[in-house]
Amino acid sequence: MNNKKPLSVGIWGNTDKEKFWELLNPIIKWAEKNSLETFITTRIREKLKTEISDKVKIIRSAEDFLHIDFLIAMGGDGTILSASRAVGDRGIPIIGIHLGRLGFMADITIDDMFQRLDQVALGNFSIQKRMVLKAVIATRDDKKIYYCLNDFVIDRGKYHRILSMRLSSNNFHIADYNSDGLIISTPTGSTAYSLSAGGPIVLPKLNAIVVTPISPHTLSLRPLVLSDDSVLNISFPESKTSDIAIAVDGQVADYLHADSNIEIKKAKYSINMIEFKDSNYFNTLRSKMGWGN
- pLDDT (tens digit per residue) in 139-154: 878 899 999 999 999 9
pTM of the model: 0.92
Is 219 a residue whose pLDDT tops 90? no
User: Distances from the Cα of 274 to the Cαs of 1, 64, 106, 127, in angstroms?
Assistant: 11, 20, 10, 5
**143 burial class (0-12, 13-18, 19+ CB within 10 angstroms)?**
exposed
Structure confidence at residue 37 (pLDDT) = 97
Smallest CA-to-CA distance from 179 within 154, 215, 211 is with: 215
pLDDT band with cut points at 50, 70 and 90 for residue 220: confident
Q: How far apart are CA 258 and CA 245, in angstroms?
A: 11
More confident site: 140 or 198: 198
Please say whether the dihedral angle defined by the alpha carbons of residues 37, 38, 41 and 42, taken in this order, is positive or negative.
Answer: negative
Alpha helices in 48-136 (DSSP H): 77-87, 113-121
Structure confidence at residue 188 (pLDDT) = 96
Is 176 a residue whose pLDDT tops 90? yes
Average pLDDT value for residue range 149-176: 90
pLDDT band with cut points at 50, 70 and 90 for residue 289: confident
Query: 69, 77, 155, 228: which is the annotated catalytic residue?
Result: 77
Structure confidence at residue 154 (pLDDT) = 95
Q: Are strands 94-98 and 70-75 parallel, antiparallel or unpaired?
A: parallel
Contact 76, 102 (CB under 8 A): yes
Strand partners, 111: none
Q: How far apart are CA 22 and CA 24, in angstroms?
A: 6
Q: Which residues contact 19 (CB under 8 A, 6 or more apart)?
A: 99, 110
Structure confidence at residue 53 (pLDDT) = 81
User: Distances from the Cα of 50 to the Cαs of 22, 25, 30, 47, 53, in angstroms?
Assistant: 10, 9, 17, 9, 10
Q: What share of the chain is helix, strand, coil (3-state, %, to 5)?
A: 25, 40, 40
112 is catalytic: no
Average pLDDT value for residue range 56-83: 93
